[in-house]
């Protein structure tokens, strides 16, 4: 119990990188594809 109190870092860890960079990139690509399909469906973009 006392090791948790004396932990200098605490519950937060400062990191300079994103926790899930690959998952974030893939989800943004899928979101962009979703907007593209919606724009084609609603005739905003006419291919």
pTM above 0.85, yes or no: no
Q: For the chain, give me the number of helices (H) and strands (E)?
A: 2, 0
5-41: pLDDT as tens digits: 665 666 676 667 767 899 999 999 999 999 999 999 9
Q: DSSP letter at 17?
A: S
- The domain ranges of the chain are 19-47
Distance CA 41, CA 47 (A): 11
Distance CA 1, CA 9 (A): 15
């Amino acid at each position: 119990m006392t090791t948790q109190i004396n932990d200098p870092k605490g519950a937060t860890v400062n990191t300079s990188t994103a926790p899930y960079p690959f998952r974030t990139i893939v989800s943004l690509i899928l979101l962009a594809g979703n907007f593209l399909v919606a724009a084609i469906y609603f005739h905003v973009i006419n291919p």
